[in-house]
Structure 1
């Protein structure tokens, strides 16, 4: 589990390797990731945009940006949360993702919420912390 907090918005990410959708012989490894966004603030927020920075084990970077998440631009009320699941294919057996959400307060202010960096590792791989 990976977690980051920005202005009382807590983003928690749990990645999982999808062996049944992966094909290492074809150079395709697939992960799912579940994201929970908790609004610990005093105002409703609307998730308007997402930005992902994805780096595979060879250092290849892909950037993905667009409106909302999984086809939605959820409004998250104070004390509530929004959870979704998405996925990421890679051409290598490991990588790392990080990003941000653009959130809008009821009053119109827009601010960036950090998505914590999280590792995409095969369950069989030994993790080394530097």
Structure 2
């Protein structure tokens, strides 16, 4: 688990290797991640966009961006949190992700950037 606070928003990331949906013989590895977004500030924020920087151990780099997360643009009230689960496929058994959420401060109507801390995606058999 990793976490980072930026602009009064705490991001916590947990990862899970999805063995049942992976096929190492075909170089297909699926990882799930659960992200908790906690608003530590005094005003509501709305998650507008996400950007991901994904690197796997064979050197492949991907960038993914789009509106919201898992089809939603949640509003997170002060002292509340929003949690979602998503996944990432890799062509190798190790990789890492990091990113940025673009959020809207609903008091000032200004966009803020919230950093998603780098987290590792490692198949359990690589840890031995």
Could you state the TM-score of these two structures normalised by the residue count of structure 2? 0.97
Question: How many aligned positions are there?
Answer: 127
Task: State the Cα distance separating 1:28 from its structure 2 match.
Answer: 0.1
RMSD: 0.9
Q: Does residue 125 of structure 1 match 2:109?
A: no
Alignment of 1:82-97 (within 5 A): 82-97=82-97
In structure 2, the residue matched to 1:113 is 114
In structure 1, the residue matched to 2:51 is 51
Alignment of 1:1-130 (within 5 A): 1-106=1-106, 107-126=108-127
**Structure 2 spans left out of the alignment, 5+ residues:** none
Task: State the Cα distance separating 1:124 from its structure 2 match.
Answer: 2.3
Task: Return the alpha-carbon distance in structure 2 between the equivalents of residues 95 and 17 of structure 1.
Answer: 12
Task: Return the alpha-carbon distance in structure 1 between the equivalents of residues 23 and 126 of structure 2.
Answer: 17
Task: State the Cα distance separating 1:80 from its structure 2 match.
Answer: 0.3
Task: Return the alpha-carbon distance in structure 2 between the equivalents of residues 64 and 51 of structure 1.
Answer: 6
Task: Return the alpha-carbon distance in structure 1 between the equivalents of residues 105 and 112 of structure 2.
Answer: 8
**Structure 1 spans left out of the alignment, 5+ residues:** none
Task: Return the alpha-carbon distance in structure 1 between the equivalents of residues 45 and 124 of structure 2.
Answer: 35
Task: Return the alpha-carbon distance in structure 1 between the equivalents of residues 100 and 10 of structure 2.
Answer: 12
Task: State the Cα distance separating 1:123 from its structure 2 match.
Answer: 1.4
CA deviation digits over 1:1-59, x for unaligned, max 9? 01010011000000000000000111100000000000000010000000000000011
Detail structure 1 runs of 4+ shifted over 3 Å in the superposition: none
CA deviation digits over 1:87-117, x for unaligned, max 9? 0000011100000100101121101100000
